[in-house]
Amino acid sequence: MQIEISTRYLDKDSIARFDKVKSKTENCYLEALRSSPINFLESEYLPRIYVIPFVRKVILPDRWIFVFNEVLPDPLEEKYKAFFPSLPFLEVIEPKFVIANFAHELAHVIDFAVKPNRIEELWKKHKGNARLVHEELEQKISEEYYGRFKEPAKTWLYELDEESNKNRVLNQINESGAEVREFRGIYAFGQFLKSPETFTKEI
Please name every residue paired with 153 in a beta bridge, in sequence order, or none if there are none: none
| CA dist., res. 158 & res. 142, Å (int) | 8
| Phi (first) and psi of residue 88, to 5 degrees | -60, -35
Coil, helix or strand at residue 203: coil
Instruction: State the pLDDT confidence band at 200, using cuts at 50, 70 and 90.
Output: very low
Provide the H-helix boundaries in the chain. Answer: 12-19, 22-35, 87-92, 95-114, 118-125, 130-145, 153-165, 168-175, 188-193
129 contacts: CB under 8 Å, gap ≥ 6: 62
Among residues 39, 40, 24, the alpha carbon closest in space to that of 85 is found at: 24
pLDDT value at residue 112: 87
pLDDT value at residue 187: 67
Max alpha carbon distance in the chain (Å)? 45
Give the tens place of pLDDT for each residue, 93-119: 999 999 999 999 999 999 988 888 888
pTM of the model: 0.89
Give the tens place of pLDDT for each residue, 150-196: 999 999 999 999 998 888 898 999 899 999 988 887 666 776 676 65
175 contacts: CB under 8 Å, gap ≥ 6: none
| CA dist., res. 52 & res. 33, Å (int) | 21
Among residues 93, 98, 94, 113, the alpha carbon closest in space to that of 37 is found at: 113
Coil, helix or strand at residue 174: helix
| CA dist., res. 191 & res. 90, Å (int) | 23
Q: Is the pLDDT of residue 139 over 80?
A: yes
Q: Are 128 and 121 in contact (CB under 8 A)?
A: no
Q: Are 43 and 114 in contact (CB under 8 A)?
A: no
CA–centroid distance for 144 within its chain: 18
Q: Could you report how far apart the first and last alpha carbons of the chain are, in Å? A: 25
pLDDT value at residue 203: 31
pLDDT value at residue 202: 37
